[in-house]
Structures are given as structure tokens and as C-alpha cells.
């Protein structure tokens, strides 16, 4: 059975305990999820490429930038310069840009991801799906932490797994939004490769990141019947 990966959303971490939390998580997670919001595509403004540089001072894990922005070209240029391992762009703003930006990311030796909002069908990305390294399914509306889990979005994860097997595509499938004890079993049944965990699933469980991780691990194992290694 393929190992499920966990990628903490650092937008929801306790920045007062930045070094402590990253140092602990370095030994337990597979990558870090960096939300970059421009205040236009979504109302909030959060992390930036600068934050990736700060994390890299104390971590060698891959980083995945989630661009919630109206001008993906501007941000892709910066992230390519930083050699951010995964650069993930919303399909909803890629009309006329997708092939060029995916090629730019690949030419830099990096991986290109596509993100789909809850309302966006997977057919939207069929013209370039064979080029994509990762597809992220939003299980909440983008831009805010702590939202209601939208269960119907899991159907897209199932469909993407079936399509990958049928066509031989190479993308990994990631879910993003309200991944926690209440939803772990449903998410597990859909079968994504990567879980994004944020405030409700990890950082908000306890003041101690070590205790929070223990609670999350127990929640996942008890609800899915699978060991988290």
C-alpha cells in the first residue's frame, strides 16, 4: 500500500513558535504547503516567497506553493528563481497561460501543480492534464482557514484516480481543506496521495506541536484503521 503523505499548511502555524514547530515537523512530514494570497483572487493576504526562504534556513523538505492570485505569471517568476519544488496554480486564472507557465516551471527543473476550486470540474484541465505533476482538490472554498468541509468534492479525487489509472498519467492527487478527525475517514475512502493539514487537523489541537502531532496521528489512525508512519 502506498504511503499517504502529509503536508502542513504553514499559514495556520503559530508564528511565535516558528523554529520550534518547523524543527519538530521536519522529522514527521513529507513537505510544506505555502499559501500565497494576493488580496485579489481571495480577500486575504498571507505568506509570500520570502517565507519560503525563511523555512529553508531550518528545513530541507520540499515546499509546495499554492498560488491564490490573479496574476500567476508574476508569482511563478519569483518561485522559479527560488527553486520552489512545487508551484501550484489555480485553473480558474490560467486561461491562455497554462501551457506557457507549466513549461516555464518544468524548464526550471521544478514540478507544476494545478488547483481546482470546489465548483470547478476536472474537465477544465483536460487540455493540459497530461503535463501536470500534481492536482490539488479544494475541499473548502479558497482563502480562509477553518471552513466547512465540502464532501461532494471527494468525487473529483475518485475520478482523478480512475483517470490516472486508465490513461497512465503521472500526477499525484492532493486534497486541501478541513482535513481532521471528522473528515479523515471520508477522505481516506476517496484516496488522495497527499493530505494538507492546517488548524483544525494539526496546529489548533494543542499549544505544543509535539502533542498536536500525536493527537492528529491518533485521530487519523482511529478513524481510518491505518497506521501513520
What the chain holds in terms of domains, given with CATH numbers, is 5-212 (3.20.20.70)
**pLDDT by residue (tens digit) across 119-178?**
999 999 999 999 999 999 999 988 666 568 999 999 999 999 999 999 999 999 999 988
Nearest to 94 by CA among 118, 119, 67: 67
pLDDT recorded at residue 205 = 97
pTM: 0.95
Active site positions, annotated? 35, 176
Q: Is 33 annotated as a binding residue?
A: yes
pLDDT recorded at residue 88 = 98
Residue 14 CA to residue 79 CA, distance in Å, equals 24
- The answer to whether the Cα torsion of 88, 101, 3, 169 is positive or negative is positive
Q: Is 176 annotated as a binding residue?
A: yes
The ranges of the chain with pLDDT < 70 are 1-2, 43, 143-147
Q: Is 66 annotated as a binding residue?
A: yes
Q: Is 71 annotated as a binding residue?
A: no
pLDDT recorded at residue 43 = 67
Q: Is 145 annotated as a binding residue?
A: yes
Q: Is 206 annotated as a binding residue?
A: no
Residue 92 CA to residue 88 CA, distance in Å, equals 12
Amino acid at each position: 500500500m502506498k504511503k499517504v503523505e502529509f503536508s502542513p499548511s504553514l499559514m495556520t502555524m503559530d508564528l511565535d513558535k516558528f523554529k520550534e514547530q518547523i524543527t519538530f515537523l521536519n522529522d514527521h512530514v513529507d513537505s510544506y504547503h505555502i499559501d500565497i494570497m494576493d488580496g485579489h483572487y481571495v480577500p486575504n493576504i498571507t505568506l509570500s516567497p520570502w517565507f519560503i526562504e525563511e523555512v529553508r534556513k531550518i528545513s530541507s523538505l520540499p515546499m509546495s506553493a499554492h498560488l491564490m492570485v490573479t496574476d500567476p505569471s508574476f508569482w511563478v517568476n519569483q518561485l522559479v528563481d527560488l527553486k520552489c519544488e512545487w508551484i501550484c496554480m489555480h485553473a480558474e486564472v490560467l486561461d491562455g497561460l497554462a501551457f506557457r507557465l507549466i513549461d516555464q516551471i518544468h524548464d526550471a527543473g521544478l514540478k507544476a501543480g494545478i488547483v481546482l476550486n470546489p465548483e470547478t470540474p476536472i474537465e477544465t484541465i483536460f487540455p493540459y492534464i497530461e503535463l501536470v505533476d500534481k492536482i490539488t482538490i479544494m475541499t473548502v472554498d479558497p482563502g480562509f482557514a477553518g471552513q466547512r468541509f465540502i464532501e461532494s468534492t471527494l468525487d473529483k479525487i475518485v475520478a482523478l484516480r480512475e483517470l490516472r489509472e486508465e490513461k497512465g498519467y503521472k500526477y499525484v492527487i492532493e486534497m486541501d481543506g478541513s482535513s481532521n478527525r471528522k473528515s479523515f475517514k471520508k477522505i481516506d475512502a476517496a484516496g488522495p496521495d497527499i493530505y494538507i493539514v492546517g488548524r483544525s487537523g494539526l496546529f489548533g489541537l494543542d499549544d505544543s506541536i509535539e502533542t498536536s502531532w500525536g493527537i492528529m496521528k491518533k485521530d487519523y489512525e482511529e478513524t481510518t484503521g491505518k497506521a501513520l508512519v
